[in-house]
Structure 1
């Protein structure tokens, strides 16, 4: 019993940590809790957009590899479109090109077929790129504003420290450590949310540019194929469709007399 009493007394005499994260949130009150909540929502939204957009981009790139392997082997665009996945970006471009070709035949004015097809495919590309870019403005907004949200919490923490100093009449460490610690935590959280958002934005933006280049190249190939009535295909597809040359027969040995 004596040992238990000694341990209990030692536990009561041990100093309690009043400067942890939860203690800082309690000291900050509603303002600190609201600031942390906003930063948490920003962080969750940033990682959600990063992963969903990464999977969407990866799917489009995989579909591009499959399209290059199978699409141009088909004799017509309509048959090639049947080999592509439904609701894919590449299928949309082909379908829009075929639809534009059918619509031009119904026009009564003298608009050039090339101009009409080029404009239709350009609109299709723009819609795909806009869909890929959705969500990126949120990442840019988080990267630009999260440090300032954390700075707001920092300002509030410094203000509380100054109030504590004014009430106590002296800048003792026990009076300012809590508010200053709260201010530093808010600054760190703001940077912790902003940096991944900026990195994710730049990474996804670079992949979107690569996909836009692939879309533009494929759109040009589709336009050339439609204007040439199927005669023009990418050089790679033409090389695959060209039969391999038959091996040369060995020269026959001369007949001896």
Structure 2
């Protein structure tokens, strides 16, 4: 009798464990979509959030790797070109997504515009240094904003995906308790399956959130380094277009 009871208990446990997988949950959701409407909403929301986060992870990774490979070449070529017109022409030949060349062109255009309007109210209200500085500030702000594209999505997914999954879990456990109360059975095979399936939603929420959080922190650190390069390059450009030489070159000449 004890062996029969043990065998029955073991069979019930095995049956309960077989009902705790994602495949079994998906089959139940497909068989009764109306009953699992909230679960469907949660699952679709998590899939969309995951797709959005991975899209921006890939886009930002490619963008940062490309920028890392071209930034030093672009800035060094600009300073090593002896003729200013050739240096500006080199910047104009760069791709539209290259930020350092755009900042340099903003400064060059501001200096040229100020020179063309000597004697006007523009020159009287702003000297050459202030005019170039204002253009550089706008250029750095614009390129810094472009670097941050997609980070809001990653931050939102990382902070909300666990709670979306938790909503699915709470709703699943609530439905499981209603079924248990209706059937009057509280055995392990009646409880473990529905509760285990509900906990899958929390796991899915974590699987969606963790990559988004890690990627967000990674890209924020990369952007901080790139913004420092923007500032350094902008300061050198300001000295060059306002005085005709970089600070280091002025010190050497003296």
Please indicate the TM-score interval, normalised by the length of the shorter structure. Answer: 0.7 to 0.9
CA contact (8 A) 1:97 1:121 kept: yes
**What SS does structure 1 have at the residue aligned with 2:125?**
coil
Indicate the residue corresponding to 2:52 in structure 1. Answer: 45
CA contact (8 A) 2:237 2:246 kept: no
| Equivalent residue runs for 1:145-224 within 5 Å | 145-224=160-239
Indicate the residue corresponding to 2:23 in structure 1. Answer: 22
Structure 2 unaligned blocks of 5 or more: 1-13, 30-35
CA apart distance, 1:15? 6.4
Indicate the structure (1 or 2) with the bigger Cα radius of gyration. 1
Q: TM-score with structure 2 length normalisation? A: 0.80
| Equivalent residue runs for 1:59-208 within 5 Å | 59-84=66-91, 85-87=94-96, 88-105=98-115, 106=117, 107-108=120-121, 109-208=124-223
Aligned counterparts of 2:193 and 2:76: Cα–Cα separation in 1? 64
CA contact (8 A) 2:180 2:186 kept: yes
CA apart distance, 1:207? 0.4
CA contact (8 A) 2:42 2:168 kept: yes
Instruction: Determine which structure has the larger helix proportion and give its number.
Output: 2
1:121-168 per-position Cα deviation (integer Å, ceiling 9, x unaligned)? 010001001011010000000001000000010111110121012112
Aligned counterparts of 1:78 and 1:42: Cα–Cα separation in 2? 48
1:34-62 per-position Cα deviation (integer Å, ceiling 9, x unaligned)? 21221112112212211211111122222
**What SS does structure 2 have at the residue aligned with 1:83?**
helix
Aligned counterparts of 2:174 and 2:196: Cα–Cα separation in 1? 12
Indicate the residue corresponding to 1:253 in structure 2. Answer: none
Aligned counterparts of 1:33 and 1:110: Cα–Cα separation in 2? 62
**What SS does structure 2 have at the residue aligned with 1:134?**
coil
More divergent stretch after superposition (69-78 vs 88-97): 69-78
CA contact (8 A) 1:142 1:197 kept: yes
CA contact (8 A) 2:170 2:198 kept: yes
Aligned counterparts of 1:112 and 1:69: Cα–Cα separation in 2? 28
Structure 1 unaligned blocks of 5 or more: 1-13, 240-257
